[in-house]
Amino acid sequence: MTGARRRLLETLREKGIRDLSVLRAFEMTPRHAFVPTGVRHRAYEDSSLPIGSGQTISQPSIHARYLEILAFKGGERVLEIGTGSGYQTVLLSHLVAQVFTIERIPALYTMAREAIQRAGAKNVSMLLGDGTVGWREYSPYDAILVSAGGPSVPQPLVDQLADGGRMLVPVGGHEEQILKLVTKRGGQVETTDVAPVRFVPLYGTHGWEQQ
């Protein structure tokens, strides 16, 4: 492990990340392999970086917060909306049994697929399409992670949560959102606010309309 990756782990600990399995996933996943060469020297900073097609890779502390909140046990089936660079996908692959991930932008889908394969993740299935409608074929999911902000919680994703399942989804405007934790129990759906966040817009049938 490089000194830069070690420093990132220290930063995550300083920001309050305590889950050892989450820290281990960061230790095992080379973030520089998921960012364009032009910003590779900044790969282990705790900052979001451009990855092309108007999209960004989130800052590592946001990924870590997502993963820590969901407190994975290891046997989960998880759906990720917005593959992006594939970095969070590979972090998830170290923490759960199966990862299903959807990306709507063809160029990012291709780039992420190659990066995920290079990282050696064997428990990842990818789909090119509209993440706001989910991936019904493999539902229900124990957890759903939405990596873009929409005007509301997409109903198809709520429908595809398992009983006891949890979803993290940013909801709000184009510029700022509130990260919401949606929990499904016995047919009841509870939503709690976690924190203010800033994500790229969630486009799709149950998100923002593409201009």
Q: Helix 60-70 and helix 20-28: axis angle, to 10°?
A: 140
Which of left, alpha, beta for 103 (phi over 0: left; psi -120 to 50: alpha)? beta
Which active-site residues does the annotation give?
58
Structure tokens at 76: 């989960």
Do 15 and 47 contact (CB within 8 A), yes or no? Answer: no
Inter-CA distances, 84 with 17, 62, 177, Å: 23, 14, 19
Burial of 134-145, coded b for 16+ CB within 10 Å and e otherwise, reads: bbeeebbbbbbb
- The residues, ordered by sequence, that sit 6+ positions from 186 with a Cβ below 8 Å of its Cβ are 163
Alpha helices, DSSP H only, in 98-139?
Answer: 106-118
Cα 61 to Cα 131: distance, rounded to the nearest angstrom: 23
| Cα–Cα dist 91/38, whole Å | 23
The amino acid at residue 176 is: E
